[in-house]
Amino acid sequence: MSSDAVKKRKPKVIRNEAGTPETKRGRAEGEQDVLVYNEEVELEGRDPQQDYMLYKDTCAALAKLMAEIQELKSGGAKVGSVEMEERRRQCSVHFITLKKLNRLAHMRLKKGRDQTHEAKQRVDVLHLQLQNLLYEVMHLQKEISKCLEFKSQHEEIELVSEEEFFQEAPAEISRPHVTRDDHHQLTLARLDWELEQRKRLAEQYKMSLARKEKIHKAIEQKREYLSSLQPGLQNIMQASLPVQECLSMPFEQMQKQAEVARHLPPPLYVLLVQAAAYGQACGKTHIFTLNKTLSASISGDVDEAKALSRPPEDSQDDESDSDAEEEQQNTKRRRASVGVQLDDKRKEMLRRHPLSLCVDLKCKDGSVLHLFFYYLMNLNILTVKTKVSTTTDLSGAVSAGELLNSESLLNCLYASDHGQETPNPTNRYQFDKVGITTFADYVSDLGHPYVWVQKLGGLQFSSDGAQVALSASHMERTMKLLQGRLQARLALHKQFSSLEHSIIPISGECQHLFPAKVVSGLTRWTMMSYQEFTELGFVQHVLKAGLLRETDLFFMAVVERGTARLLAAVVVNPRYPEVMPLFSLSLHWKGERSGRTEDNLRAMESEVNMFRAELQGPRPGLQLLTNQIQRLCVCLDVYLETESQVCDGSEGPKEFPREKMCLRTARGPSRLKPFKYNHPQGFFSHR
């Protein structure tokens, strides 16, 4: 049968996506039956999972047919052969199936999107309704808050309590039968009672003013009487001066100092008052008495200070005349150069107040620390200069020359307070105007502006605060620190005198820290500069660690025993003995060694630098440095005596015979030596 005949016999299929699947008959005679096909209706009855399985099976069958066609072509079959045509028809049927499945998938996707869109629209409608309700709720809450927050003017008036109102108010105002049940009427009644009370108090105020005037007149009369007694009292005070001198009660001197103190600038006056309060609280002295623990005196030009405090007189005529005269003089003389003008501006900016304050702080050994306080008016800061007076001659020690130097004596009294720059941040802008680069260039002339000095005078630049309270909070601690600094420097001065003569002074309280016999000895003790110290090779690790400051004191100690020579670079912090001195070691014996190259030298450094509790001695620990040097000598003895023992146990060189008793000469892979001295057993052991 031909293909044309087959096409004629096939029924006509009409795809209608909008209609329903029906088989419509009843057409005119001779016409073919027409089938109406709707894929959307078919889609509702199909299972997506089954369509997916059909898709997989169709793809597998199509791949199989393609493979067979490939085999036939490779086997030599012709293109128009029966097998080839049969497989082509089957492939076409499978392609049609795949197209149908593709349409169904797109229809499912479209249907899902439509359903999702409808659901979103419903959600949007509900959300809009919810927002409308929330807006109404918020509006109602605002209205309620406005009603609750409404305040009437009568609420600002402090009325008496209800119980007191009903007890004190008369019945015609309180009306208990009405106000107890009506809160509004109660408030009105309380306001009426408040008005009546205020009227009565106004009358009392007028009467009090009248009594005040009478009392004031009586006081004036008594004041006139007392002023008439002033000449007689002055004569009595003048006659009592010999008695005051005999009894050491200088009331006249105190009065004169009080008169001068009135012209002090506020920071110096605060410092004077707090020094007086501290002296009286300690119970040892009065501020104006001499030869006591704490004393103060005012020096300077009082007349100039009075002129500064006197307000300038307003005289416009004089000013105009003086301006005219100055203009005439300026035309005749040469204008000053810019450099001279800047110098004048610098001098004016760095100008001191005419009055200064001297505070003398005395120690138990009779030494005196003189503190001279100055006030720079334009910079609004305090500066201090120092001077030390001792009962003994301290010119013997060369290395102690910087200990009592007035430029560095009070450095770092508090941590990091070097006193080289002004603590007032506004001074930086003032310096820029007159060409001052740093305040440190003027410290030697003006004094050091330490932060603790500003606090003693009630000056604080970081935050506002009461001057007297600020000064009082720092007075006691600062006075104790100053006494401790002076005692520590004097103790170091005496120790340096002995160290320069190769003598290590050890007090009786510290003898138990060391063995009875120490062979190694100090041979040299010299002072170094910061530049010389930084050039040493065995202290570079200390520099990298940032443990040094230019304000520290640097020394070189040489300890020797036989051919061994130990160099110790010593850093003494200005806050000694609160901050422990730092030792760095280098041994010259059979070569050069340091703590960076040998573990035992590093252990010796730790013995000297770390164990403060063992080495400081009795409080306040002024023997700390000499005890460290003595322990360094002991550690060198142990190092050399244990180093002489060779590994096979035979005797080593006789230069360093064994004199120290050690439980073990070495321990561990690094062969650390026993540097710890055990008292009273007298042997050395490891840490």
Give the C-alpha separation, 367 to 404, whole Å. Answer: 12
Closest CA to 506 of 403, 419, 416, 617: 617
The reply to whether 445 and 506 lie within a common domain is no
The pLDDT of residue 23 is above 60: no
Q: Is residue 322 part of a domain?
A: no
Same domain membership, residue 291 and residue 411 = yes
Q: Residues 519, 619: one domain?
A: yes
- In degrees rounded to 5, what are phi and psi of residue 158? -85, 100
pLDDT higher than 60, residue 525 = yes
Confidence of residue 556 (pLDDT cuts 50, 70, 90): very high
Beta strands of 217-354 (E only): which ranges? 294-300
* Last residue of one domain, picked from the residues 456, 485, 514: 485
Cis before 620 (ω within 30): yes
Whole-angstrom CA distances from 682 to 79, 660, 673, 679 are 116, 8, 16, 5
Q: Residue 545: inside a domain, yes or no?
A: yes
| Residues in Cβ contact with 296 at an 8 Å cutoff, skipping those fewer than 6 apart | 272, 275, 276, 287, 288, 357, 358, 359, 360
Contacts of 528 (CB under 8 A, 6+ apart): 554, 555, 556, 569
Q: CA end-to-end span of the chain, whole Å?
A: 115
Kindly list the distances between the CA atom of residue 556 and the CA atoms of 457, 564, 592, in Å, as whole numbers in the listed order.
40, 16, 17
Q: Is 458 helix (H, G, I), strand (E, B) or coil?
A: coil
Give the domain extent around 88: 39-149
Residue-wise pLDDT tens digits, 52-65: 999 999 999 999 99
Q: Residue 2 falls within a domain, yes or no?
A: no
Which residue, 646, 648, 640, is CA-closest to 675? 640
Examine residue 349 and state whether it is found in any structural domain, yes or no.
Answer: yes
CA distance 453 to 451: 5
What is the spatial distance between Cα 308 and Cα 378, in angstroms, rounded to a whole number?
A: 13
| Angstrom distances, CA of residue 147 to CA of 142, 143, 151 | 9, 6, 9
**pLDDT in the model for residue 95:** 94
Question: Cα separation of 447 and 420, whole Å?
Answer: 9
Residue among 272, 283, 493, 274 nearest 367 (CA): 493
pLDDT at 477: 85
- Claim to verify: residue 280 and residue 235 sit in the same structural domain: no
Residue 238 in tokens: 């003048």
User: Taking a C-beta distance cutoff of 8 angstroms, is the pair 371, 386 a contact?
Assistant: yes
Residue with tokens 């030697």: 444
Give the pLDDT of residue 315. Answer: 42
DSSP state of 352: B
pLDDT of residue 394: 73
Dihedral angle of Cα 97, 103, 108, 112, to the nearest 10 degrees: 160
pTM score, whole prediction:
0.55
**Domain shared by 539 and 461, yes or no:** no
Residues 597 and 473 in one domain: no
pLDDT digits (tens, 9 = 90+) for 185-194: 888 888 899 8
Contact 681, 674 (CB under 8 A): no
Residue whose entry in the numeric block shows the structure tokens 């007035």: 406
Q: Tell me which residue of 354, 338, 352 sits closest to 434, measured CA to CA.
A: 338
Least confident range from 144-158, 526-540, 576-590: namely 144-158
Residues 452 and 561 in one domain: no
Which has more pLDDT, 77 or 297? 297
**DSSP SS3 for 552:** coil
pLDDT at 523 over 90: yes
Residues 138 and 196 occupy one common structural domain? no
Radius of gyration of the chain (CA): 53
- Give how far Cα 430 sits from Cα of 288, 427, 464, Å: 37, 5, 21
Give the residue among 423, 416, 414 at the shortest CA–CA distance from 485: 414
Cα separation, 536 vs 540, whole angstroms: 7
> DSSP character for 69?
H
Measured from the Cβ of residue 74, the count of other Cβ atoms closer than 10 Å reads 8
Which of 28-37, 200-209, 364-373, 489-498 is the most confident on average? 200-209
Residues 477 and 344 in one domain: yes
Q: Is 29 a member of any domain?
A: no
User: Does residue 234 share a domain with residue 352?
Assistant: no
Cβ–Cβ under 8 Å, residues 572 and 581 = yes
238 three-class SS: helix
The model's confidence at residue 242, banded by pLDDT at 50, 70 and 90, is confident
Which three-class secondary structure state does DSSP give residue 235?
helix
Cα–Cα dist 456/267, whole Å: 8
Last residue of some domain: 249, 274, 295?
249
pLDDT digit string, tens, across residues 496-522:
888 988 899 988 888 888 898 899 999
pLDDT for res 11: 46
**Out of 306-315, 384-393, 395-404, which region has the weakest mean confidence (pLDDT)?**
306-315
Q: Is the pLDDT of residue 305 over 60?
A: yes
| Residue appearing with tokens 């035309």 | 331
- Residue 422 CB: number of other CB atoms within 10 A? 26
Contact 361, 486 (CB under 8 A): yes
Residue 21 has pLDDT above 80, yes or no: no
pLDDT band at 139 (very low <50, low <70, confident <90, very high): very high
| Structural domain includes residue 328 | no
What mean pLDDT value characterizes the chain? 82
Q: Provide the pLDDT for residue 80.
A: 76
Q: What pLDDT was estimated at residue 330?
A: 54
Q: Which residues have CB under 8 Å from 431's CB, separation 6+? A: 349, 437, 439
Single-letter code of the amino acid located at 535:
E
- Judging by beta carbons within 10 Å of its beta carbon (0-12, 13-18, 19+), is residue 167 exposed, middle or buried? exposed
Taking alpha carbons only, the member of 587, 603, 404 closest to residue 490 is 404
| Higher per-residue pLDDT: 325 or 277 | 277
Domain count, the chain: 4
Q: For residue 192, is it within any domain?
A: yes
Residue 555 gets the label, from left (phi > 0), alpha (psi -120 to 50) or beta, of beta
**Residue 253's pLDDT band (boundaries 50, 70, 90)?**
low
Spatial CA neighbour of 372 closest among 423, 297, 303: 297
Q: How far apart are CA 253 and CA 255, in angstroms?
A: 5
Q: Helical H runs in 310-387?
A: 316-332, 338-349
The encoded tokens of residue 133 equal 């309700």
Q: Which position has the higher pLDDT, 457 or 251?
A: 457
The Cα–Cα gap between 303 and 386 comes to 26
List 556's β-bridge partners, or say none: 526, 569
- Identify the band that residue 635 occupies on the pLDDT scale cut at 50, 70 and 90: very high
Can you tell me the distance from the alpha carbon of 170 to that of 652, in angstroms, rounded to the nearest whole number?
Answer: 116
Average pLDDT over residues 606-615: 89
Residue 517, phi then psi, degrees to nearest 5: -120, 120
On whether residue 315 sits in a domain, the answer given is no
Judged by DSSP in three states, 3 sits in helix
With 70 as the cut, is the pLDDT of residue 471 above it?
A: no
670 and 546 share one domain? yes
Average pLDDT over residues 552-578: 92
Same domain, 69 and 217: no
Predicted local confidence at residue 107, as pLDDT: 92
Q: Contact at 8 Å (CB) between 632 and 582?
A: no
Q: Across residues 425-450, what is the average pLDDT?
A: 87
**Strand-by-strand arrangement of the 683-685 sheet:** 661-662, 683-685, 676-678
The Cα–Cα gap between 8 and 93 comes to 19
